[in-house]
Amino acid sequence: MLRTFLLAAARSTTCRTLVERTPVTRGLVSRFVAGSTLESALPAVADITRDRLVTLDHLGEDVTDAAQAETTVTAYTRLLKELSDAGLADRAEVSMKLSAVGQFLPGDGEKIALENARRVCQAAEEAGTTVTLDMEDHTTVDSTLSILRELRADFDGVGAVLQAYLHRTEADCRDLRQAGSRVRLCKGAYDEPASVAYRSKADIDRAYVRCMRTLMEGDGYPMIATHDPRMVAIAGKLAETTGRTADSYEYQMLYGIRDAEQTRLAANGNRMRVYVPYGDQWYGYFMRRLAERPANLTFFLRSLVSR
Ligand code: FAD
């Protein structure tokens, strides 16, 4: 119920204005967002890459005009150049939402998103790194996977996210487990109807394990994106039983969440990548993090009351 409310609020402009104008929000946002500009986020990236890998997300989604989409492309090309200049491109890649480069624009939104994503992939190739396509709500999955296929024809390092809570995802994992394919498996962060997605934690966890097994048994490069200790432990066991070496898959977690576990996994010889978001369009991302964990919301509300 609370999760549904928060995820609906994540897409409401009225709530957005209210939350953005609340002075204490900034402090809480900084727990999950590395900085409001690239310059302010880069020290965190340099620090994390000492023992872990990074994927950087220039925050933004659901752009409503082509000019905004163009701004996103410029931000990513600049980011990729900075990573290359700072000598970080071998330890840091980028994550991108197709809705931030025009996927939802009326008419030929999908075509615009493909062309914009192609430009970002080109910049990543020049910088010596890769791009992973984030996955948004279930209505975008076919379009995102179709864009992925087009991009992979020219840039074979492009990866994508699959969400275990969707009923279709086991089949998508089977389709995307060939050699060279990079798949980030997460549970899923949107409020999806029961007609397309598992809704209970137990069902989602079971689906996550099935998808993980499919990817680990395949020939691709699985990216296990979860903070769930049980899923992390099962991933380790699956890697053993499928004979995977430590460099043939990786763990991923979000910036600001389970930091000690991130460093522990890295210290044990695992590839551990941190998803680092930055930018001033943090509202949707922040609300999804609140929705994932009631304790985050309690902390937020307590800060409001104790001002
Ligand atoms: P859960 O069962 O939700 O949580 C397990 C435990 O992790 C919790 O008990 C808690 O200890 C900790 N935890 C989880 N969330 C939080 C939090 N917000 N704050 C503090 N502690 C927390 N979703 C998408 O739909 N599309 C994407 O493209 C996408 N990309 C992602 C990329 C990465 C690298 C990661 C790690 C997640 C991504 N997600 C994405 C979000 C994901 O779908 C889940 O919503 C999120 O990871 C929470 O699920 P969980 O696997 O951590 O397990």
The 10s digit of each residue's pLDDT in 150-167 is 999 999 999 999 999 999
1 and 134 inside one domain: no
63 and 175 inside one domain: yes
Instruction: Give the residues across from 221 on adjacent strands.
Output: 182
How many CB atoms neighbour CB 130 within 10 A?
Answer: 20
Q: What percent of the chain has pLDDT above 70?
A: 98
Please tell me the distance between residue 154's alpha carbon and the centre of ligand 1 in angstroms. Answer: 31
269 and 134 inside one domain: yes
**Of the residues 53, 131, 187, 211, which should be mutated to test ligand 1's pocket, given the most ligand atoms within 8 Å of the CB?**
187
The 10s digit of each residue's pLDDT in 268-281 is 999 999 999 999 99
φ, ψ at 38 (rounded to 5°) = -60, -45
20 and 59 inside one domain: no
Taking only Cα atoms into account, the Rg of the chain, rounded to an integer number of angstroms, comes to: 18
| Closest-lying ligand 1 atom to the alpha carbon of residue 204 | 2
156 and 216 inside one domain: yes
Q: The tokens 């009923």 sit on which residue?
A: 167
ipTM of the complex: 0.97
In this structure, what CATH number is given to the domain that contains residue 57? 3.20.20.220
Domain that holds residue 156: 39-281
List pocket residues of ligand 1, CB cut-off 6 Å.
134-135, 161, 163, 184, 186-190, 225-228, 252-254, 257, 275, 289, 292-293, 296
84 and 220 inside one domain: yes
293 and 224 inside one domain: no
pTM, full prediction: 0.95
27 and 59 inside one domain: no
91 and 124 inside one domain: yes
119 and 153 inside one domain: yes
